[in-house]
Amino acid sequence: MIKANYKAVVIGGSAGSFSVVSKLLSQLREDFPLPVIICLHRLKHVRSGLVESIRLKSKLEVIEPNDKQTIVAGKVYLAPSNYHLFVEYDNTFSLSTEEPLNHSRPSIDNTLSSAAYVYRNKLIGIVLTGANKDGAKGMKDIADKKGLTIIQDPKTCEMDTMPKSVQRLIKPEKVLSPDEISKFLNQLAI
């Protein structure tokens, strides 16, 4: 176990990330001590289905949060379809239907950047496989606030554009395979 003073994990992913997230959540230990905030690109009009599928594998409770819902440790939060998901200073979420960012709503940059400002150096940011650059700026914000940055090893990605665009802006602290990501998270003790 690594004793570390983190407050949240935030994960972004796009093309190919669904199976990675499912696997990750099936591997995370039941008493995982942090909230896990996930923003995945998805088809606009396929609202249901994603959260249900992710729930099937997860040992932790998976929630699509409502506006102003309080963030609780040990729960998994999935950005609802067609909304941007932001983390607020009072440890709640806020939702917005503002215009898409990087052609996406939810946009990973929005979730990652807002979390970076709130949790600062106590945040772990992870960007997974994906076919665009959404998330890169958010990861830079996390790095700027001295949070921990992890990308999925491009060699293990279905689409490596997303982690590689992170590498164009910063040097991520860890480049890990999906199995290594869950192994790393599971040894965190708060």
Partner 1 sequence: MDFKHYLQVLKDHTPYDFSNYSDNSIKRRLQKVIADNDLSIDELLAKTQNDKAFVEQLVEDITVNTTELFRDPEEWPAFYEVLLPALKGKKTFNIWHAGCSSGMEVYSNMIILNELGLLDKAKIYATDISHGMVRKCKNGNYRYEFNKRQLQAFETILIKHPIAGISKVDFSKYFDIDHEKDQITAKEFLRKKVEVKQHDLVQEKSPFYCKFDIIFCRNVLIYFNATLQSKIYQMFHRQLYPKGAMILGSHESLTGFYKTKFKKNGPLYVKTNAFHYKYH
Number of residues that bind partner 1 (CB under 8 A): 22
Regarding 47 and contact with partner 1 (CB under 8 A), the answer is yes
Binding mask 9-38 for partner 1 (x = CB under 8 A): ------------------------------
Length of the chain: 190
Binding mask 62-101 for partner 1 (x = CB under 8 A): --xxxxxx----------x-xx--x-xx----xxxxxx--
On the 0-12 / 13-18 / 19+ scale of CB atoms within 10 A, 45 is exposed
Q: Give the whole-angstrom CA distance, residue 88 versus residue 111.
A: 10
**Six-digit token string for 150:** 């992890």
Helix or strand (DSSP H, E) at 138: helix 136-144
User: Looking only at residues 95 through 134 of this chain, which bind partner 1 when binding is defined by CB under 8 A?
Assistant: 95-99, 114
Phi, psi of 70 (to 5 degrees): -75, 140
For residue 159, give Cα distances in angstroms to 63, 98, 116, 162, 181. 27, 27, 25, 7, 17
Q: How far is the CB of 83 from partner 1 (least distance, A)?
A: 6
Q: How far is the CB of 115 from partner 1 (least distance, A)?
A: 12
Is residue 104 flagged as an active site residue? no
> Which position among 58, 84, 134, 165 bears the catalytic label?
134
- Could you give the residue numbers annotated as active site? 14, 41, 134
Residues that bind partner 1 (CB under 8 A): 45, 47-48, 64-69, 80, 82-83, 86, 88-89, 94-99, 114
